Structure 1
Amino acid sequence: MQIIATFEHSSLLEIALTELEEKKVASIYAVPLDLRKREPRLLDSIHRADGVSFIDKGMIFAFLFSTVGASKGFVWQGGPIIWGIVGAVIGFIVGIILSWVIYLIKREKNQTQIKQGKKGEVVVVVTCEEGQASVVEDILWDHRALGLARTR
C-alpha cells in the first residue's frame, strides 16, 4: 500500500518523517517541489489563460464614465454622444491603469516571498503494509499534511 501526502517545507515534516522511520515503515520517499523561477506570460492566448485580465476593469470603468459623460453631455457643450465617448475612453484608460497597478503590487509581493526564501511543497510517498496504513495516515495528518491519498 502506498500513501501519498503533500507538506509545506517545515520542521513538522522532518518530525513526521522521523516518526515514520521509528515505526519501521517499509519505504519513505520525499521529493521537494521547485518554485516557479520565471514570470508567467502577461498576455493570454486562446488556449491558455491564467486569470489575469487587464480589460475587465477597463470595460467597467468605461461603462461608468460613459454613463456619467452622456448624462452630463446634455448640459455641456458638445452633446451627450461626444461626452459619452470621451467618458468611455477615459474610463477604459483609468481601468487599465488600475489593473496594471494591482498587477505590479501582487507581483512585487510574490517576488518578496521568493526572495525571503519561501520554499515549495514536499511530496511524501510512504510504502507500508495494509495494517500500518491507518497509523501512517494519523502521523501525516497530525503533522499538518496539506493533502493525502491512499493507493494499493
Structure 2
Amino acid sequence: MQLFSTFEHSVHIELAVATLEKKGIPKEAIFVVPVDNRLEKRKMFDTLHRSDGTSLIDIGAALGTACAVISASIGFKLSWGPIYWGLIGAAGGFIIGLIIRLVTELIIKKKKRLLKGFHSEIIVIIDCAESDGDMVENILFSHFALGVGKVI
C-alpha cells in the first residue's frame, strides 16, 4: 500500500518522518518530494481553453447602458442629437466600468489571492503494509498533513 500526503514546508515533515521511522517504517520506504510553486503570475485575460470565472466587462456593460440612456436623453437638447450622444455615453460608461474592474482585479483582489489558502510544497510518499496504513495515516495527520491519499 502507498500513502501520499502533502505538507507545507515546515519542521512537521521531519517530525513525521522521524516518528514513522520509530514505528518501524524503513527509511527506504519514505520518499519526500519538494514541489516547485508557479513562478509566473496568473494571466489576467481568459482564453478559449481557460477561464477563471471572472468577467471584466460586466460593470462596463452596465455603466455603458446607463450612460447611454442618460446621454441620449440629454442629447435631445444638444447639437449632435440623441444618437451620437447616446453612443458617446455608451463608450464612456463602458471604458469607466472596464477601468473600475481592472483596478479591482489587479490591485484589490491580488492582495486577497496572495493571502488566501495554503500552498502545498512537499509531497510525502510512504510504501507500507496494509496493516500499517491506519497508523501511518494517523501519524501524518497528527503532524499537520494537508491531505492524505491511499493506493492499495
Q: TM tier, shorter chain?
A: 0.7 to 0.9
Q: Which amino acid counterpart does residue 127 of structure 1 have in structure 2?
A: D
Question: How big is each residue's C-alpha offset from its partner over 1:70-108, in whole Å with a ceiling of 9 and x where there is no partner?
Answer: 4x4377535554443222211211122122223332686
Length-normalised TM-score, structure 1: 0.75
* CA–CA distance in structure 2, aligned partners of residues 34 and 23 of structure 1: 30
Separation in 2, partners of 1:49, 1:7:
28
2-side partners of 1:123 and 1:107: how far apart? 29
- Pairing 1:1-150 to 2, within 5 Å after superposition: 1-26=1-26, 27-51=29-53, 53-70=55-72, 72-73=73-74, 76-77=77-78, 80-105=82-107, 109=111, 121-150=121-150
Distance across 1 between alignment mates of 2:77 and 2:145: 64
Identity of aligned residues (%): 38
Give 1:141 shift. Answer: 1.6
TM-score by length of 2: 0.75
SS of residue paired to 2:89: helix
Asked if the contact 1:32/1:120 (under 8 Å) is kept, the reply is no
Give the direction of change, closer, same or farther, for the CA distance of 1:74–1:144 in structure 2 (3 Å limit): same
**CA, structure 1 residues 43+119, in 2 after alignment: closer, same or farther (shift >3 Å)?**
closer
- Secondary structure of the 1:34 match is coil
Between the two proteins, the alignment pairs up a number of residues equal to 147
CA distance in 2, matches of 1:128, 1:66: 69
Return 5+ residue gaps in structure 2 as ranges: none
| Cα RMSD after superposing both structures | 3.1
CA drift at 1:140:
1.4
- Gaps spanning 5+ residues in structure 1: where? none
